[in-house]
Amino acid sequence: MKENNEAKNQTGETNTPTHFIQNIITEDVAQGNNNGNVVTRFPPEPNGYLHIGHAKSICLNFGLARDFKGKCHLRLDDTNPCKENVEYIGSIKEDVAWLGFNWGDNCFFASDYFEQLYSFAIELIKKGKAYVCDLSAEEIREYRGTLTEPGKESPCRSRSSEENIELFQKMRAGEYANGEKTLRAKIDMTSGNLNMRDPVLYRILKVLHHRTGDKWCIYPMYDFTHCLSDSLEGITHSICTLEFEDHRPLYDWVLDNLETSCHPRQIEFARLNLTNTVMSKRKLLQLVDEKIVSGWDDPVMPTISGLRRRGYTPASIRNFCDRIGVAKRDSTVDMALLDFHIREDLNRSARRVMAVLRPLKLVIDNYPDAQSEELDAINNPEDPSMGTRQVPFSKTLYIEQEDFMEDAPKKYFRLTPGREVRLRYAYFVTCNSVVKDDTTGEITEIHCSYDPETRGGTAPDGRKVKSTIHWVSASHARDVEIRLYAHLLLDQETETKKDFKELINPAHLEVLQGCKAEPALVEAAPGDRFQFERQGYFCADTKDHTPESPVFNRIVTLRDTWKKIQNKNQKKSK
């Protein structure tokens, strides 16, 4: 694995320690198991959109295949036609590809194996390892026993193989109603593991399947399908989440009792949990259904499509997934780590631009009325090859409301009456006076004088200013809509078992109209990412942005030391 990490370093990927699954596979390869081959798979059920938790699994499975020079299959686990839908298949493929992974020719469907699965079921029956059961769903539940008490055997358990085969064939032929019969494995009704108490292998479901149509009216259960699909595809390592740990004995039982040439090793790891958001399919669906969000791809959603629309880069998500590691312990990763990775990526790559979110008019009294000029601005100080641009400057500008304070506290470095600050890439200005609304007392305009000698932002006499603020020339400004996204859920300060909806951050979205942006932003195409200087990273919305009415989503704020100081002072004064 050292080599892998070194290779990753050369391509700019982050270096991370090896995890237990890499160690297991390394050992398997060293022992020559599976002839040293590694084949993994990512097996989503097409019944919802992929989210950041799936991204962890995708990066793990495809990453392992990459590191061990093997393959990773994409397999749509479509064994329950009641819950699944074709429309999800496209989004799943799109999301995996967008994350940067390639399954080549290896996109499969569990439903591709229905005929083979049926043959395996017949084989099991012939061996006396499975039987058709007449018990109803409720009866099966009663017979199963409880966590602490053993179950009891079904009266159908002792049917002959011949009878079972005939019955199973009739099940397939549609001679029974939904729920009238099931095919069950004959294992052990007294097992401490409930999954081993004669689990259902096939159920009757008279519904159309999105791929096989009306060909089948019996459908195999997950426990029967998954292990055999893995085996059929020659998967060597079948990686899944912790809740399937109890299913592993059944996974192995099925493969051990059937003539299969490949017995993959199931390995379980802990799924991703993230602070400040929800990850369960049920809650995500609830947000969509109750219109708390605009859809699965709402930029506040932790879905891959939501993150994409928000402006996250695939690399930032991959780096995040590498960094969180893989282990068996239940854990909750701090959202701050995701924030860190998107900032890290965009700091290197995003073009800088000036935009004023909450405009305050600033007039430079000693600047000629009709004059305007073009000033050089650097596109990305982290990457000189991105060049410079021209930014128009004139007598009347907009600055950020929060960059001016009439009565400023000690540590406030920005504009305040009598103080000189730098307008980024432009001039030093000093605030002389303030215009207020007669009735509300609200500051409507501030008046400054500028020093013509400081053009470009440096003073020939070498004098310094405490701060630099961004600005936009009023007459050249473009009006834009800006959607300020924040974490979906509030920080949970105390352990709470409340309905998660009570924890939704009321400020998870704030829409700002009439924001002012420099003309360079006209060129923005949907999906383009920028750093709005001193504010954060923003992405032109892929659905709503047009050159005529630009819309930008805030991906993440810049780190904000000033806000921290303010918060601290607020706490002190409380």
Partner RNA sequence: UGGGAUGUCGUCCAAUGGCAGGACACAUGUCUCUGGAUCAUGUAAUUGGGGUUCGACUCCCUGCAUCCCAGCCA
Residues in 138-197 that interact with RNA by CB under 7 A? 140-141, 144, 146-148, 178-180, 182, 192-195
Q: Which of 45, 163, 344, 445 is catalytic?
A: 45
By C-beta, is 362 or 542 nearer to RNA?
A: 362
The answer to whether residue 323 forms part of the interface with RNA (CB under 7 A) is: yes
What would you report as the CA-atom Rg of the chain, rounded to the nearest whole angstrom? Answer: 31
DSSP-derived secondary structure for 329-370: S---B-HHHHHHHHHHHHHHHPEEE-EESSEEEEEETTS-TT
Alpha helix (H) residue ranges in 70-206: 86-98, 114-126, 137-144, 161-173
Are residues 109 and 63 in contact, defined by beta-carbon separation less than 8 angstroms? no
The answer to whether residue 83 forms part of the interface with RNA (CB under 7 A) is: yes
By C-beta, is 198 or 298 nearer to RNA?
A: 198
Q: How far apart are CA 526 and CA 296, in angstroms?
A: 18
Q: Which of 42, 55, 29 minimizes the C-alpha distance to 233?
A: 42
Q: How far apart are CA 531 and CA 347, in angstroms?
A: 8
Contact range with RNA by CB under 7 A, out of 296-304, 387-395, 454-462, 548-556: 454-462
By C-beta, is 17 or 460 nearer to RNA?
A: 17
The answer to whether residue 331 forms part of the interface with RNA (CB under 7 A) is: yes
Q: How far from chain centre, in Å, is Cα 356?
A: 29
Contact range with RNA by CB under 7 A, out of 159-167, 202-210, 298-306, 443-451: 202-210
Q: Which of 9, 85, 102, 332 binds RNA (CB under 7 A)?
A: 332
The answer to whether residue 19 forms part of the interface with RNA (CB under 7 A) is: yes
Are residues 508 and 549 in contact, defined by beta-carbon separation less than 8 angstroms? no
The answer to whether residue 498 forms part of the interface with RNA (CB under 7 A) is: no
Are residues 521 and 550 in contact, defined by beta-carbon separation less than 8 angstroms? yes
The answer to whether residue 469 forms part of the interface with RNA (CB under 7 A) is: yes
Q: Which of 534, 541, 553, 556 binds RNA (CB under 7 A)?
A: 534
Q: Which of 271, 283, 361, 478 is catalytic?
A: 271
Name which of residues 544 to 573 contact RNA (CB under 7 A). Answer: 558-562, 564-565, 568
Number of residues that bind RNA (CB under 7 A): 95
The answer to whether residue 136 forms part of the interface with RNA (CB under 7 A) is: yes
- In whole angstroms, the minimum distance from the beta carbon of 281 to RNA comes to 9
- 163 in catalytic set: no
Q: Which two tokens stand for residue 481?
A: 């809509």
By C-beta, is 469 or 542 nearer to RNA?
A: 469
Question: What is the three-class DSSP state of 565?
Answer: helix
**Residues in CB range of 45: below 8 A, 6 or more apart:** 76, 77, 78, 80, 83, 84
Contact pattern for RNA over residues 39 through 78, marking x by CB under 7 A: ----x-x-------------------------------x-
By C-beta, is 205 or 490 nearer to RNA?
A: 205
- In whole angstroms, the minimum distance from the beta carbon of 15 to RNA comes to 8
Are residues 273 and 265 in contact, defined by beta-carbon separation less than 8 angstroms? no
By C-beta, is 127 or 568 nearer to RNA?
A: 568
- 271 in catalytic set: yes
Contact pattern for RNA over residues 291 through 320, marking x by CB under 7 A: ------------------------------
The answer to whether residue 425 forms part of the interface with RNA (CB under 7 A) is: yes
Name which of residues 211 to 230 contact RNA (CB under 7 A). Answer: 219, 221-223, 225-226
Q: How far is CA 327 from CA 43, 310, 317, 472, in A?
A: 19, 29, 18, 49
- In whole angstroms, the minimum distance from the beta carbon of 274 to RNA comes to 9
Q: Which of 281, 358, 361, 478 is catalytic?
A: 281
- 75 in catalytic set: no
Name which of residues 230 to 249 contact RNA (CB under 7 A). Answer: 242-247
Q: Which two tokens stand for residue 238?
A: 């079948």
Are residues 181 and 167 in contact, defined by beta-carbon separation less than 8 angstroms? yes
Q: Which of 27, 115, 162, 334 binds RNA (CB under 7 A)?
A: 334
The answer to whether residue 339 forms part of the interface with RNA (CB under 7 A) is: yes
By C-beta, is 72 or 350 nearer to RNA?
A: 350
CA atoms lying within 13 Å on the CB side of residue 34 = 22
Contact range with RNA by CB under 7 A, out of 165-173, 258-266, 342-350, 542-550: 342-350
Strands of the sheet with 200-204, listed across from one edge: 130-133, 182-185, 200-204, 218-220
Q: How far apart are CA 469 and CA 423, in angstroms?
A: 5
**Residues in CB range of 501: below 8 A, 6 or more apart:** 286, 292
- In whole angstroms, the minimum distance from the beta carbon of 354 to RNA comes to 9
Q: How far apart are CA 143 and CA 569, in angstroms?
A: 64
**Residues in CB range of 471: below 8 A, 6 or more apart:** 354, 356, 362, 397, 398, 399, 423, 424, 426
- In whole angstroms, the minimum distance from the beta carbon of 50 to RNA comes to 13
By C-beta, is 227 or 542 nearer to RNA?
A: 227
Q: How far is CA 264 from CA 261, 282, 338, 423, in A?
A: 10, 31, 33, 64
By C-beta, is 294 or 386 nearer to RNA?
A: 386
State the CB neighbour count (10 A cutoff) for residue 213.
Answer: 9
By C-beta, is 425 or 450 nearer to RNA?
A: 425
**Helix-, strand-, coil-residue percentages of the chain, each rounded to 5:** 35, 25, 40
- In whole angstroms, the minimum distance from the beta carbon of 151 to RNA comes to 8
Q: Would you name the residues annotated as active-site residues?
A: 45, 271, 281
